Amino acid sequence: MNNPHHLNPTSLKSRFTTRFLRALTKIRAQKPISSSSPTEIFRRYRRIKVAADKSMAYSVRSRRIWSKAMLWKLRSRSYRRQDPCSGRRSGKTNQAIMKKSSNENTTTRREDGVGFVEEADELRQLVPGGETMNLCNLLDETAHYIKCLTTQVQVMKKIADFYSF
């Protein structure tokens, strides 16, 4: 079979694709396809979106601050769903960890001396885990995050097209 596009099996794209497709099959297996009410579609959409984020975060592992933060967020959300009490507990400990890391980094956060604090704050809200980064790290993480997002969008586009035929 002619495969002109030789995919690197260890690339971010292929890692994300395999994970996401597995998640998709799981989602399809869980619920019957017959129901197409808006509620169902909405629920499925949420699940798919979470699956997409999770797959991307897992593909990056903890190599990046944003992926770590995203994984923590997803895990705490799932814990909270399963067991509210344990969620609160884990939330507290995790909050302590995040606060500690933020204290280490906040010394240089506000006093950037470069003069665009508002935009930086907005960017911090967009990038997961951005609140604990100084501007330097924030820009690095944003670049990597953009790269991963574009990969995600590409793959999902192709999957959607594939499904549409």
Interface with other proteins (CB under 8 A): 3-5, 7, 13-14, 17-18, 21-22, 24-25, 27-28, 33, 35-49, 52-53, 113-116, 119-120, 122-123, 126-127, 135-136, 139-140, 142-143, 145-147, 149-150, 152-153, 155-165
In whole angstroms, what is the distance from residue 6 CA to residue 24 CA? Answer: 24
For residues 55 and 19, the answer to whether their CB atoms sit within 8 Å is yes
CB of 162 to other proteins, least distance (A): 6
Cα 130 to Cα 141: distance, rounded to the nearest angstrom = 8
As measured in angstroms, the least distance from the Cβ of 74 to other proteins is 14
Structure tokens at 134: 């100084």
Contact call for residues 134 and 108 (beta carbons, < 8 A): yes
Q: Which is nearer to other proteins, 78 or 116 (CB)?
A: 116
C-alpha 99/C-alpha 11 separation (Å) is 33
Tell me whether residue 44 or residue 75 sits nearer to other proteins (CB atom): 44
Between 35 and 86, whose beta carbon lies closer to other proteins?
A: 35
